[in-house]
Structure 1
């Protein structure tokens, strides 16, 4: 079970960045996972490089499959803007879409921009979750 699940098709780019950035931002206050509808063998190298620049080591492990159980067990399910909703397992968890560009094959400058946009959205999400916790 995870409080937040980030989902994309291959779980190799946006969702992996979001998971890593969320884990750093939230610390031990919330649990996080990422997954894909068609998981890749490893994260995109440009994503690994962009995260390394901000001190996050992304292990080269294969992507995780987005299962109905993982989706249903989360409080928040966030799509990265890759039409995951159409391939997503049926879930009772509301899904929000961040509509982010795909970093795969992009120059490192563009991947940094995507990383920074994800980081900003992650910060906002953690603040929102903190506010909900106080209520």
Structure 2
């Protein structure tokens, strides 16, 4: 049996991890890229924003290419009720905008509190990228340690 998840059909048994931030242009896109690369079988990943921009931060694309992950074809997406309802785990990347912070709209969200890479020099964006990779790997390791459960 399948259910609709955006424009793609997803396996109803797949667990979906949703990474959210305000603009869906940097942090959440990098997290989606890392999770897609490292995720165990049976997991889907998506990212979205409360006020998405028209394109991904080009410096985020560049620093991800440095670690051989291409996020250039990913697009910023609006956070929808269906995304929230269908997600197994929702991770907020951090709130720099109190008015549109995803944590205000989402119950049971994990907040990572990661700095926004917007308008930051490439060296800082690399640090942010590395922190996101570390956290994604931690969540995947926790999954493997807890009998196929990603902690919430």
Do they fold alike, i.e. is TM over 0.5? yes
Q: 2:37 aligns with which of 17, 24, 27?
A: 24
How far does residue 61 in structure 1 lie from its aligned partner after superposition? 4.6
Could you say which residue in structure 2 is the equivalent of 1:120? 134
Report which of the two has the higher share of helix: 1
Could you say which residue in structure 1 is the equivalent of 2:83? 70
- Unaligned runs of at least 5 residues, structure 2: 6-14, 96-100
1:84 aligns with 2:102: yes
Instruction: Decide whether aligned partners of structure 1 residues 61 and 22 sit closer, same or farther in structure 2, where only a CA change above 3 A counts.
Output: closer
Could you say which residue in structure 2 is the equivalent of 1:129? 143
When normalised by structure 1's length, the TM-score is: 0.88
1:35 aligns with 2:53: no
3-state SS of the aligned residue for 1:3? strand
Q: Contact 1:16 / 1:34 at 8 angstroms: preserved in 2?
A: yes
Which gives a bigger RCO, structure 1 or 2 (Cα 8 Å, sep 6+)?
A: 1
Could you say which residue in structure 2 is the equivalent of 1:57? 70
Q: Contact 2:40 / 2:140 at 8 angstroms: preserved in 1?
A: no
How far does residue 55 in structure 1 lie from its aligned partner after superposition? 0.5
Rounded to whole Å, the distance in 2 between the matches of 1:68 and 1:7 is: 13
- Unaligned runs of at least 5 residues, structure 1: none
Rounded to whole Å, the distance in 2 between the matches of 1:130 and 1:58 is: 26
**Runs of 4+ off more than 6 Å:** none
Rounded to whole Å, the distance in 2 between the matches of 1:25 and 1:61 is: 17
Matches for 1:90-101 after TM superposition, within 5 Å: 90-91=106-107, 94-101=108-115
Q: 1:111 aligns with which of 97, 113, 125?
A: 125
1:10 aligns with 2:23: yes
User: What are the Cα deviations for residues 17-47 of structure 1, in whole angstroms up to 9, with x where unaligned?
Assistant: 0000111111534111000011111100110
Report which of the two has the higher share of strand: 2
Aligned residues: 131
Instruction: Decide whether aligned partners of structure 1 residues 123 and 61 sit closer, same or farther in structure 2, where only a CA change above 3 A counts.
Output: closer
- Which of structures 1 and 2 has the bigger CA Rg? 2
